[in-house]
Amino acid sequence: MPENCSTSSKVSTAPSIGERCTASGPSRLRDQKLCWRIIALYSSGATYSRPLKSFLNRFAGEHRELKALNKSLVTSRFTQAIDLLAKGPGPAAFRHGSGQVNAALAEATSVGLMRRLDSGTSPTPSTVRAAVERLGADKDFPQAISRATADEEQVRKRLEAATASFAGA
């Protein structure tokens, strides 16, 4: 991903993060952090440890120029995931309860779908919508996106749940 986590995608109906992580790059610090959070957890989720801020700072320091990452792969996965989420469930993919973007939900759905895309085939928007619905029906998932969201166990639970949900897409 080039600086500011930008992609070449122009998603007009994308969820909020998709709109903010497009060609011009996210303008708000909170949006930049969410982009980096998605990329960091996709690329290095197995090494996550609290606090989130330190994890992101370490990741950003190691990958400031994204030379140690496969830039084209990360950009492709991120762009494809955002496009599929926009065409499938739309903005609801990142919103839980209040209607505002839930960063833990956005991170989980994005990372889960990006991992699914690693399999080499792309799901359809309707199968992505079904995967998001399955994830929402998981009785343990709401706690993983609403309580102690920076806790290692909660991060692991939500990423595993999302990965499993999208594996069936």
How much is the pTM? 0.84
Contacts of 111 (CB under 8 A, 6+ apart): 38, 41, 42, 45, 159, 162, 163
Q: Are 39 and 78 in contact (CB under 8 A)?
A: yes
Express each pLDDT in 46-69 by its tens digit: 999 999 999 999 998 888 776 788
Domain boundaries, given as residue ranges, for the chain: 7-167
Q: Are 45 and 38 in contact (CB under 8 A)?
A: no
| Sequential pLDDT tens for the chain (169 residues) | 434 444 323 223 344 444 445 445 555 777 778 888 999 999 999 999 999 999 999 998 888 776 788 889 998 999 999 999 999 999 889 988 777 889 999 999 999 999 999 999 999 999 999 999 999 999 999 999 998 999 999 999 999 999 999 997 6
pLDDT of residue 154: 96
